[in-house]
Structure 1
Amino acid sequence: IDVSTQCEVMMIDKSTNYKARKTASVLTLEVQSSQETSSVDTPSLFGCTSETEESTVSELTKLEFHHRKAMLDIIAKKPKMYLGLPKQFLWLLDEIVEKSSIKIDKVSLIVTLLKIKQNDSLERISDQFEISRTKLSSVIFTGIEVLANYFQNFVYCPEPKQIKQNLPLVFKIRYSDVQMIIDCFEIQITKPSNPLKQAQTWSQYKSCNTVKYLIGCTPNGFVSFISTGYAGRISDKAIVEKSNLLNILPPNAVVLADRGFKEIESLFSLHGIKVLRPPTSEVLQSKVIASLRVHVERVIRRVREFSLLKPHSVVNYKYVSLLDEIVLIVCGLINLRGEIIKSY
């Protein structure tokens, strides 16, 4: 089930909620008084003459500019904290603007990444960057599309030789053929209004409506695969079968999986791929495999560092259709942060 069909996006034009007020008729005495004092300058909204008003508006514009610049300076000092982007890769924003087929500026990309990383309210971001509320939504939607198109190049399955060269020491002794560790994670979404979609997205494991993803990483924590989103009701076996994972892995590859991935050996064996799961009978081997498989959980923990994708951060229905792109952007940013486990 395509995640984009889970919720219907309903946009409400708030501009129609305001009613124009009719001014009362002016008394004759007031009209006469105004005619007598017509030669005197009428106070403006700021309580001053037109020349002073223009000066005040100019000062406010300068103040807004300095406020916006101050916010950008703060982000530039700590981009990893505010955007999830390592400081040494800030130059990527200029490259994205230059290479994007969609016209967009650097500030729009910063605002989009800030929303994904911090999940601040649109009202607050609007005040911080002096962007209108209506325009901000459009900016973020466009920014997600542009960023996803760029960061998809950072999520790929490396060659087996390259994986072995960066293999952590704990894998080199008995598990040097492992090319991917897989696991699933779920993102909570707002409850759909459609009863059928409520049932499809209901997760028994999380006890809420979710979108489920299959993620795979190399032994050193590089995100090498991320599936599209599926309704939370889907099983682990079904998501492996429906995703493109089996076509990405080369023959004779070894995959580490959790014990919850039941009956997937037959799917992988058809493609000449071996699956290692913690056995129930051998306690020692079960502990070893579980300790190696935990590295994919560390990757998922990095995904959860982005506030929009936190465990109990319910994704608004407006962003559900863009959730695949958001997850892809986050995985690309994670790969820029370096290895989870150092190879020695």
Structure 2
Amino acid sequence: MNVARKKKKFNVRDSFKLQRGVGGSNEHCCVPLCSASSRYNSSLSFHCFPKNTSLRVQWLNKIKRTGFSVTKHTKVCSRHFEDHEIVCTAKGRRVLAASAVPSLFEWNNFENNETRTSGWKRRPRPSSPEPGSDAEEDLEHCDPPVPMVVDRDCKASPTVCVDREQYENMLREIEASRQQLQTYHLHSSFGLQRFASSPEDIRFYTRFPSYNHLMAFWNLIEAATTQMVRVTKAKKNYVTSTTTEIPSTRPTKLLPIDELFLFLTYVSTGCTQRELGHRFNIHQATVRQIIVTWANFLYSLLGSVCIWLSPAAVKVKLPSEFDGIYSDTHVILDCTELRCQTPSSLLLQSEVFSTYKSHCTFKAVVGMSPHGALIFVSALFEGSMSDREVFRRSGITSLLTPDMAVMVDKGFLVDDLVPGRVHHPAFLSKRTQMPEVDVPKMQSIVRLRVHVERIMRRVKENKLFDTIIPLSISGSINQIFTVACLLSNYQNGPLFKK
């Protein structure tokens, strides 16, 4: 006996469940607070935005994303449509009705409350009486007007006053609850505003001495952030088997100032990108995108400011400690090394291995003016290079003139590479003991050179450079290191005061 089976009505919300999809496509819903993906939800369908301009505007208003840039890959999942708006074709494909508009969301508990009918209705106007009808006769027999009597002893009902007081009390309670909710969100979210009142936390996460100092720096660069070019990871090119970085103008979840805070936190604390993703409640890939974007942006912006000082500017700010034979000192140079992860390739290991550090390193030359400002930073080179070769490739020789003396450590054998004088400690050579006349000179140079080490200590307070740098950021470490050095002029005061 054949029994007719009643076809069950398909309900998207009832059938929605987390499961791994069998298809190769990977579509995502663009509606806020919706994490639906075709990779894990094969029971859902994903629909493109309509081509009709007015209907598309309705969609954007409904999903609360006005001004959002819509592409052909921007989709809305079937969870946000009524059942009657989704039609199944003869081939089993689920499509939307022509006038379908998303109306079911997280903020309305996936319910579409119909618009309440107004209690005010316009009554139909009675038709005008025809001439000669009985209405004219009724006008002649109208009763005289009755005088209105006003009761001056009437008082307002006490219920109205009580309701007014309750209403005002409820408003005060709502305002207090709103402020408590804002305070809770402020303390539960990891961002700049959470630590605005704590100079110690601002110093720890950004290396700026206070919130006001950080905001002063932000005011300098805020206007340029509108021209920032974001960097995203492109899909792998199957033709050349290479990956490329392409610019993107799509906004991220964080505000620009919070993105700057994320970048400074990454450099200052050395946190992993996964940990920062959990703290800022964003994906790890987004964290990497923000770090690379801000490293390139600040590298270009701060690098466009000339930090090399003229001899006259150095003379004006020359500390008294340099008076005498070192008064012609223009820059104090030092070679610093950053430890990095050991590469698997033996060839790369031999290029970056430093015999001085007995570890794989990157090496750079840093220059400081006599009064303590950083005025030169070179690119990073392989750790196997000698200090002399790094100095030659750094490009600082093109900035020096015969009237500019440099002060270096005794390991810097660059006397024949600079046009002016070179101040360095005396060598023992084959002597067993340094002559008495050279001891004061050596002590004074060592005492003055210690300040460039203080500058490098400021830079290496950033825990990212105090640990082993992973090779995953080797493509951006040069920009990050340069930015950290340049930021030291904004984050700290001078070592000397004239």
Question: 2: distance between equivalents of 1:330 and 1:161?
Answer: 27
TM-score by length of 1: 0.76
- Indicate if the aligned counterparts of 1:68 and 1:128 stay in contact, CA closer than 8 A: no
| Structure 2 CA distance for aligned equivalents of residues 239 and 52 of structure 1 | 60
Structure 2 counterpart of 1:147, from 289, 292, 298: 298
Query: Residue 266 of structure 1: which of 401, 416, 426 is its match?
Result: 416
C-alpha deviation, 1:211, in angstroms: 0.3
In structure 1, stretches of 5+ residues that fail to align are: 1-14, 23-49, 56-60
1:307 aligns with 2:432: no
Name the counterpart of 1:27: none
Q: How does 1:116-195 map to 2 (within 5 A)?
A: 116-153=267-304, 156-195=307-346
1:182, distance to aligned residue in structure 2 (A): 0.4
3-state DSSP of counterpart to 2:416: helix
Residue 453 of structure 2 aligns with an amino acid whose one-letter code is E
Instruction: Give, as a single letter, the amino acid of the residue that structure 1 aligns with 2:295.
Output: I
- Pairing of 1:205-284 with structure 2 (within 5 A): 205-262=356-413, 264-268=414-418, 272-280=419-427, 281=434, 282-284=438-440
TM-score by length of 2: 0.54
SS of the residue 2:403 aligns to: coil
When you count helix as a share of all residues, which structure comes out higher?
1
Task: Considering Cα pairs closer than 8 Å and 6+ residues apart, tell me whether 1 or 2 has the greater RCO.
Answer: 1
Q: State the secondary structure of the residue aligned to 2:196.
A: helix
The residue aligned with 1:73 is 193
Distance in 1 (CA, whole Å) between partners of 2:188 and 2:388 is 49
> Do the aligned partners of 1:116 and 1:306 also contact (CA within 8 Å) in 2?
yes
CA contact (8 A) 1:230 1:239 kept: yes
SS state at 1:187 partner: strand
- Asked if 2 retains the 8 angstrom alpha-carbon contact of 1:179 and 1:254, the reply is yes
CA contact (8 A) 1:68 1:130 kept: no
- 2:496 maps to 1:341: yes
> What is the CA–CA distance in structure 2 between the aligned matches of 1:52 and 1:328, rounded to whole Å?
45
Q: Which residue number corresponds to residue 12 of structure 1? A: none
2: distance between equivalents of 1:235 and 1:122? Answer: 33
RMSD over aligned Cα atoms: 2.9
Task: Decide whether the 8 Å contact of 2:186 with 2:193 is kept in 1.
Answer: no
Name the amino acid aligned to 1:266: D
| Count of equivalent residues | 290
SS at match of 1:212: strand
Shift of 1:198: 0.5
Query: How do residues 103-118 of structure 1 correspond to structure 2 at under 5 angstroms?
Result: 105-118=256-269
8 Å CA contact 1:181–1:257 kept in 2: the answer is yes
Q: Which runs of 5+ in 2 are unaligned?
A: 1-25, 27-38, 43-104, 111-180, 231-255, 428-433
| Partner of residue 292, structure 1 | 448
Secondary structure at the residue paired with 1:90? helix
Residues 339 and 359 of structure 2 are in contact (CA less than 8 Å); yes or no, is this contact kept in structure 1? yes
Equivalence for 1:332: 486
